[in-house]
Amino acid sequence: MNRLNYMQEIRKRIEIAPIGSVFVASDFADITETKRVSEYLVRLSADNTVKCVMRGVFYKPKYSKLLDEYIAPAPDAVAHALARNYGWTIFPCGDTALNLLGLSTQVPVVWLYVSDGPYKEYSYDNATIKYKHMTNKEVSKLSPKTALVIQALKTLGKDNIQSDTIERIKEVTTTDERKTMLIEAQYVTAWIYEVIKIICR
């Protein structure tokens, strides 16, 4: 495959992706080497096929006629793209977990994630993404939804779990996800597992 075909393959993949999708070079590693992908993404940003969020991170832009500007990508999508780029496993925690589960409508000032990578912080537009090193007991080897629920419950605290909290988590998890959660969460903090058992009834 020649260079023009590499570019066409990358462009094609971006075109079929949803608007707002975030990309890093490693997302196209099956097409060509990541150094070359990075060069192509920079070239594709020249015609707004993608826009640069920060060094090495690009997104498929959405233009707002109302605001007369491009809308920045979702911080959660950027956080996961960065994690893919560096090979980290991450899970939302704190207010970020509450927001993503719909347990809070407040948009986090800092989008916080536990990670098996180093402590890192990134900023773009008006968003800040922060990673803190995780403890294996709480998130290692867990599915994303199980880890998200555990982190949300931990943030709320034992004395702040209400019936509407239980119902909301039931609404945003599937039967299969709850079955998995019941198995995976056996070794977390005892009170969290008791709440998860109620959620999974």
Residue bearing tokens 């096929």: 49
Q: What does the pLDDT read at residue 138?
A: 56
Topology of the domain covering 3-71: Arc Repressor Mutant, subunit A (1.10.10)
Q: What does the pLDDT read at residue 1?
A: 58
Sign of CA dihedral 130, 131, 135, 141: positive
Asked if residue 77 lies in contact with residue 92, where contact means CB atoms within 8 angstroms, the answer is: no
Q: What does the pLDDT read at residue 125?
A: 87
Query: Judging by DSSP bridges, how do beta strands 127-133 and 110-115 pair with one another?
Result: parallel
Q: What does the pLDDT read at residue 135?
A: 66
Domain locations in the chain?
3-71, 75-199
Q: What does the pLDDT read at residue 167?
A: 95
- The count of C-alpha atoms lying within 13 angstroms of the C-alpha of 39, restricted to the half-sphere facing its C-beta, is 8
3-state secondary structure the chain: CCHHHHHHHHHHHHHHCCCCCEECHHHHCCCCCHHHHHHHHHHHHHHCCCEEEECCEEECCEEECCCCEEECCCHHHHHHHHHHHHCCCEEECHHHHHHHCCCCCCCCCEEEEEECCCCEEEEECCEEEEEEECCHHHHCCCCHHHHHHHHHHHHHCHHHCCHHHHHHHHHCCCHHHHHHHHHHHHHCCHHHHHHHHHHCC
Instruction: Kindly give the confidence (pLDDT) of every residue in the chain, 201 residues in length, as a single tens digit, with 9 standing for 90 and above.
Output: 566 688 899 999 999 999 999 999 999 999 999 999 999 999 999 988 999 999 999 999 988 788 778 888 999 999 999 999 999 989 999 999 999 999 998 899 999 999 988 999 999 988 999 999 876 655 567 899 999 999 999 999 999 999 999 999 999 999 999 999 999 998 889 999 999 999 998
Q: What does the pLDDT read at residue 116?
A: 87
